[in-house]
Amino acid sequence: MKNIMSIYVYNTLTQQKELFETIEDHKVRMYVCGPTVYDSCHIGHARSVVVFDVIQRYFKSQGYAVVYVRNFTDVDDKIIQRAAELGMKPQALAEKYIAEFYRDMQALYVEPATFEPRVTEHIDDVIKIIDQLINNGSAYTVDGNVFFAVESFKEYGKLSNRRLTDMTAGARVAVDARKRSPFDFTLWKQAKKGEPSWDSPWGPGRPGWHIECSAMSSRYLGEVFDIHGGGKDLIFPHHENEIAQSEAAHGKGFVRYWIHNGFVNIDQEKMSKSLGNFRLIKDVIQQYHPEVVRLFLLSKHYRKPIDFNPKAMADARTALDRIYALMRRIDLIRNNEPLSRDGHEEATYWNQFCRAMNDDFNTAGGIAVIFNAVRHANRMLDEINTEQVAPKTWAALAVVRDEILQMASILGFGYQDPNVYLKTRRTSGTKADRIDTNLIEKMIAEREHARQTKNWEKADQIRTKLSDMHVVLEDRPDGTHWKVER
């Protein structure tokens, strides 16, 4: 199923939504900053990776060829410091956390990027760009170090909307007497005893943080490409510095569209090590099913902050339960016989989903469309007399079911066998609420009366309330059966 409507993207560089137009026809070239692998990844990292995973999936669903690059920073001050603390070699530490990153992402159903380069594999590319910058006067050497001369790039600050004249020296960067300006940043660091280093024209050393991404993005995507993404915390100084050094080196524009995702807060507080409220991915997916985590991360527009808390996760779990409960309900009524579209091609919900996604990848709007489709499918099932059902009714139901699965697959959930998911999904570990059997039976009777009088809206409302109580209904020829699943 494809969509022919135009896609609009909010561009951080222009601070407005813009019509998305690729440099090369029907080919998206996208670079997203990956992790610095000195520790386990937290739920904030997961949001960024999942958001751009969905963007990649959606472009592909619309017929675009996608070249997606997500890097690893595997040599850095933080890696060296942490390795020293643990008595490990820096490269061994990096390998440990790269392997853990892959385990986390596999658990979250994140599709691989086209290329996943490491900085240590691209030292020659880094040296080449630095050499260009020195030769054109944009960078200078001091005692084996190379610095970028920020004042040589007249448009510095255009991404973060900052001006050098308005910045206070030392506010965001360490003051270094060797620099011509306190805002000049490091391209190459002189080797220190015991640290990883590589030979260069300026002596042994290693790359600065910002130059790494310029080198790897140009290596795989060219000097100008379509999308660069990452978390909002990377806008300044990292992405600002990438623009300066890339455009200074190549003498042309760098990226067409800059996309940045918002932060994950924890119980309405900023996630930080000082507050001790970090939530590691490996811990979160032990507490909640990974598909529940994905649904939660996509339940707000990617540019807005999202709050990780027990209620939000319980809501996400209940929502995902509804999808799987519907799929199991269809299987039960059909006795696991295939449900055929039988030539029925209408795709109302898919088109609505695409309209949401075309508006700056509005996954929250897309999720709302999915649950409108789930309610519609449940109403259709409520109306079905399993002994006499017209083929066109089954075909219409098949279309809605397929749309739900297609939309869910773009967002990265709905992969499990319904019976397996509903039996094995993780819960928060809190004590189960007391079940009022009389209330449940009364609600089921009210729903049955509503069905008999063809009040499908009321029947659907009762089913939704029961689902919120973790009560799963199974309509069979001998009546409605129910059970509690947590």
CATH code for the domain of 323: 1.20.120.640
Is the domain of 247 the same as that of 158? yes
> Quick one: tokens of 89?
């070699």
Q: Domain check: are 19 and 80 in the same one?
A: yes
Do both 266 and 125 map to the same domain? yes
Supply the mean pLDDT for the chain: 90
Whether 419 maps to a domain, the answer reads: yes
Residue 373 lies in a domain: yes
Q: Where does a domain end: 218, 246, 270? A: 270
Task: Quote the pLDDT of residue 173.
Answer: 52
Q: What separation in angstroms does the CA of 407 have from each of 61, 364, 414, 426? A: 10, 12, 9, 23
Residue 389 has pLDDT above 80, yes or no: no
**Cβ–Cβ < 8 Å for 446, 438:** no
Determine, yes or no, domain membership for 292: no
pLDDT over threshold 70, residue 100? yes
260 and 339 both lie in a single domain: no
Cβ(411)–Cβ(367) under 8 Å?
yes
pLDDT of residue 344: 57
In a domain, 289, yes or no: no
- Per-residue pLDDT, 478: 63
Mean pLDDT over residues 28-50, rounded? 97
Q: How confident is the model at residue 345 (pLDDT cuts 50, 70, 90)?
A: low
H or E stretch covering 68: strand 65-70
pLDDT at residue 333, rounded to an integer: 79
User: How many angstroms from the chain centroid is the CA of residue 67?
Assistant: 17
Residues 233 and 368 in one domain: no
Do 337 and 446 lie in one domain? The reply is yes
Residue at which a domain ends, from 215, 243, 270: 270
Q: What pLDDT shows up at residue 429?
A: 41
Residues 465, 354, single domain; the answer is yes
Say whether both 70 and 182 belong to one domain. Answer: yes
Flag whether 287 is in a domain: no
pLDDT exceeds cutoff 70 at 298: yes
Q: What amino acid is encoded at 475 in this protein?
A: D
Residue whose tokens read 């006067």: 137
Beta-carbon contacts of residue 21 (< 8 Å; ≥ 6 apart): 256
233 lies in which domain range?
Answer: 8-270
End-to-end CA distance of the chain: 34
Q: What is the largest CA-CA distance in the chain?
A: 86
Per-residue model confidence (pLDDT) at position 354: 97
Question: Domain containing 230 — which CATH number?
Answer: 3.40.50.620
For the residues 375-396, what does the mean pLDDT come to?
79
* Tally of domains in the chain: 2
Give the pLDDT score at 47. 98
Asked if 145 and 189 count as a contact pair (C-beta separation under 8 A), the reply is: yes
Residue 209: inside a domain: yes
- C-alpha 203/C-alpha 98 separation (Å) is 29
Whether residue 320 sits in one domain with residue 252: no
The radius of gyration of the chain's CA atoms, rounded to the nearest angstrom, is: 26
Q: What is the pLDDT of residues 399-443, one digit of tens each?
A: 899 999 999 999 999 999 998 898 877 654 443 345 677 788 788
Answer yes or no: is 322 within a domain. yes
Predicted pLDDT of residue 357:
98
Least confident range of 92-106, 325-339, 460-474: 325-339
Length reported for the chain: 486
Poorest-pLDDT segment among 121-125, 169-173, 328-332, 370-374 = 169-173
How much is the pLDDT for 381? Answer: 87
Kindly state the average pLDDT of the residues 382-407: 81
pLDDT at site 123: 98
pLDDT of the residue at 164: 85
Q: Helix (H, G, I), strand (E, B), or coil: what is residue 67?
A: strand
Q: Where are the alpha helices (DSSP H) in 155-229?
A: 209-221
Q: Is residue 276 part of a domain?
A: no
pLDDT for 394 equals 78
Mean pLDDT calculated for residue range 305-323: 95
Determine the average pLDDT of the residues in 304-327: 95
Note the pLDDT of residue 395.
81
pLDDT higher than threshold 80 for residue 337: no
Q: Are residues 167 and 263 in the same domain?
A: yes
User: pLDDT value at position 288?
Assistant: 95
Tokens 């997961």 correspond to 46
Is 328 found in the same domain as 224? no
pLDDT greater than 50 at residue 300: yes
pLDDT band at 388 (very low <50, low <70, confident <90, very high): low
**pLDDT at residue 385, as a whole number:** 66
Report how far residue 478's alpha carbon sits from residue 41's, in angstroms, rounded to the nearest whole number: 50
Rounded Cα–Cα distance for residues 296 and 278 (Å): 17
| pLDDT, position 433 | 43
Q: What is the mean pLDDT of residues 465-473?
A: 83
In eight-state DSSP terms, residue 239 is I
Q: Are residues 260 and 328 in the same domain?
A: no
pLDDT at 234 over 60: yes
Whether the pLDDT of residue 214 is over 90: the answer is yes
The confidence score (pLDDT) of residue 430 equals: 40
Out of 214, 239, 270, a domain closes at: 270
